[in-house]
Amino acid sequence: MEQLTYLRPGAVETWDVARPALRAPEEAIVRPIAVATCDLDTALVRGLTPWSGPFPLGHEGVAEVEEVGDAVRSVKPGDRVCLPYQVSCGRCRRCRAGLTAQCEGHGGSTPGSQFYGFGPTGRAWGGFLSDAVRVPFADHMLLALPREVDPETVASLSDNIVDGWRTVAEPLTDWPGSPVLVVGGSGAIGLYAVACAVALGAEHVLYADRAAARLQKAERLGAEVIELGHSWPKALGPFPITVDANSTPPGLMLALRSTDAGGVCTSAGWYYAPLELPIFELTLRSVTFKTGLIQARVGMPTVLELIRSGTLDPRIVTDRVLDWADAADAIGDVREKLVFVRR
Q: Both 174 and 306 in a single domain?
A: no
State whether 109 and 217 are in the same domain.
no
41: nearest Cα among 162, 160, 164: 160
Whether residues 150 and 14 fall in one domain:
yes
pLDDT surpasses 90 at 335: no
- d(C-alpha 336, C-alpha 239), whole Å: 29
**Whole-number average pLDDT of the chain:** 94
Q: pLDDT-derived band of residue 334, with 50, 70 and 90 as boundaries? A: low
pLDDT for 112 beyond 60 = no
Residue ending a domain, choose from 290, 306, 332: 290
**Of the residues 247, 264, 290, which one is the last residue of a structural domain?**
290
Dist CA 214 CA 337 (whole Å)? 10
The span from the CA of 6 to the CA of 178, in Å, is 42
Mean pLDDT of 128-156: 98
126 and 215 in a single domain? The answer is no
Residue 237: phi and psi, rounded to 5, are 100, -135
What percent of the chain is predicted at pLDDT more than 70?
A: 97
- Residue range(s) defining the domain that contains residue 97: 2-159+294-341
Query: 39 with 122, same domain?
Result: yes
| 302 and 273 in a common domain | no
User: 1-5, 40-44, 339-343: which range is least confident on average?
Assistant: 40-44
Question: Are 33 and 80 found together in one domain?
Answer: yes
Q: Which of 144, 138, 140 is nearest to 29 (CA)?
A: 138
In this structure, are 10 and 34 located in the same domain?
A: yes
Residue 107 pLDDT greater than 60, yes or no: no
SS (H, E, C) the chain: CEEEEEEECCEEEEEECCCCCCCCCCCEEEEEEEEECCHHHHHHHHCCCCCCCCEECCCCEEEEEEEECCCCCCCCCCCEEECCCECCCCCCHHHHCCCHHHCCCCCCCCCCCCECCCHHHHHHHCCCCECCEEECCHHHHCEECCCCCCHHHHHHHHCHHHHHHHHHHHHHHHCCCCCEEEECCCCCHHHHHHHHHHHCCCCCEEEEECCHHHHHHHHHHCCEEEECCCCCCCCCCCEEEEEECCCCHHHHHHHHHCEEEEEEEEECCCCCCCCCCCHHHHHHCCCEEECCCCCHHHHHHHHHHHHHCCCCCHHHHCCEEEEHHHHHHHCCCCCCCEEEECC
Query: What is the model's pLDDT at position 43?
Result: 86
- Find the mean pLDDT for residues 176-193: 96
Task: Return the CATH number at 55.
Answer: 3.90.180.10
Q: Are residues 326 and 225 both part of a single domain?
A: no
Question: What pLDDT score does 2 carry?
Answer: 97
The residue-averaged pLDDT of 97-106 equals: 89
Is residue 336 very low, low, confident or very high in pLDDT (cuts 50, 70, 90)?
confident
Report pLDDT digits (tens) over 194-236.
999 999 999 999 999 999 999 999 999 999 999 999 889 999 9
pLDDT at 186: 84
pLDDT at 254 over 90: yes
pTM of the predicted model as reported, rounded to 2 decimal places = 0.96
* Same structural domain, 260 and 303: no
Q: Residue 327 — very low, low, confident or very high, per pLDDT cuts 50/70/90? A: very high
What average pLDDT does the segment 169-190 reach?
96
Claim to verify: residue 125 and residue 171 sit in the same structural domain: no
Q: What CATH number did the domain enclosing 283 receive?
A: 3.40.50.720
Question: Which whole-number Å values give the CA distances from 251 to 48, 50, 111, in the listed order?
Answer: 18, 21, 29
Q: What is the pLDDT, as a whole number, of residue 111?
A: 57
Looking at the 3D structure of the chain, how many domains does it have? Answer: 2
- Domain co-membership, 21 together with 153: yes
